[in-house]
Amino acid sequence: MATTWMKALHRSGGGVAAALGLRIDYAKDYTKTDDGALIDSYECDPYTAQNEFLFSKRLYAKKTGRDQGKHDVIAYHVRMSFKPGEVTPQRTLELGRELALRWTKGRHQFIVAAHTNTNNPHAHIVFNSVNLYCDRKFADFKHSAIALRRVSDRVCLEHGLSVIEKPGLSKGYNRAEYLRQSKPPTVREQLRDIMDAALAGCKSHDDFLSALLAAGVDIKHGKQLAFKLPGAKKFVRQDTLGDDYSVDAIQERIDGKRIITHKRKTVAPVAASTKPNLLIDIQSKIQQGYGEGFRRWATVQNLKEAAKTLLFLQEHGITDYESLVEQAAEASKTFGAHNDRRKTIEVRLREIAELQKHIGV
């Protein structure tokens, strides 16, 4: 079982070299890596990684002419942490290297180090934001922490390790989203929610105010309307609730002239993982003349597909064969209904097209 965390590294007050050196030196700390025995790297030397990273950045700037200043991402720091007793420090190093290779697709230099200073063994990975050809940078994306976790889960499953079935929100990489979910709604957010609910079925502004009173909201009339939640100490003026909650906006919403979506921001749902492919029939391929190299590749490929299949089944709540049969039957029934609906629509469209042709004549 492994948890993952990722953070982009930016320039500090001391410049690129200082920021990069600080992070790499932390990863290579000899007191935590068995005197340097638990350090590895890819396409660079762990002892000169800082200078090699800096050299690639100079080549990148020369080739592209791009410089983002203080907003420039100079590297990424990834941590892969295991539960106590599940893996050895050497195994942690190997799994960390495999995660780094898959995450960067072998296109970026990195160093990886396994730390043994805590009860739970963990690997620190620092990879260069510039690729090996020095013409592109790593393309980070929203919710990349979720994608990183999925890659880590596959690595763990392929090596016979457990995974976290229902992982919670990250407090690190998605800090803002975590806080939005963990903090209670503000007074204004609560008022907006109540007003959204009160607008349903209202035919006039008086109906709207009556619905607010029925919901326990106190209303103060003056130059601007003000509202107070039950148990609250202060009134909140209507003109501070946002453009969609002004007097004119409320009237437009009652009249159906303004349609809004819910304003509360939530974390986007996790996208379903890539569906697994069919396994390779190794024996039949060998009989067709494929050699030992193909057998080794196909064995690893089948193991990866089996891991993807297990993750796919877990994400869709399929824990036994009966559940699989039930969901397959339901999916088949739904597909049949949609197919019948599509055919009906196509027939109707042909009829309309025929009518239009005659009307045009």
Question: pLDDT tens-digit profile of 183-202?
Answer: 677 888 888 888 888 887 78
How much of the chain, in percent, has pLDDT values that exceed 90?
A: 29
The answer as to whether 170 is a domain residue is yes
Residue 286 belongs to what domain range?
282-315
Which residue's entry shows tokens 């800096």? 54
**Strands 226-228, 2-10: parallel, antiparallel or unpaired by DSSP?**
unpaired
pLDDT of residue 95: 95
Spatial neighbors of 219 by CB under 8 A, at least 6 apart, are 209, 212, 213, 225, 226, 227
Q: Residue range 10-35: average pLDDT?
A: 86
Residue 269 pLDDT greater than 50, yes or no: no
Question: How sure is the predictor about 91, in pLDDT bands with cuts at 50, 70 and 90?
Answer: very high
Average pLDDT, the chain: 82
Same domain, 95 and 175: yes
Same domain, 113 and 205: no
Spatial neighbors of 343 by CB under 8 A, at least 6 apart, are none
Same domain, 15 and 102: yes
The answer as to whether 320 is a domain residue is no
Same domain, 48 and 135: yes
Same domain, 170 and 214: no
158 versus 303: the higher-pLDDT residue is 158
State the sign of the Cα–Cα–Cα–Cα dihedral 100, 103, 107, 108.
Answer: negative
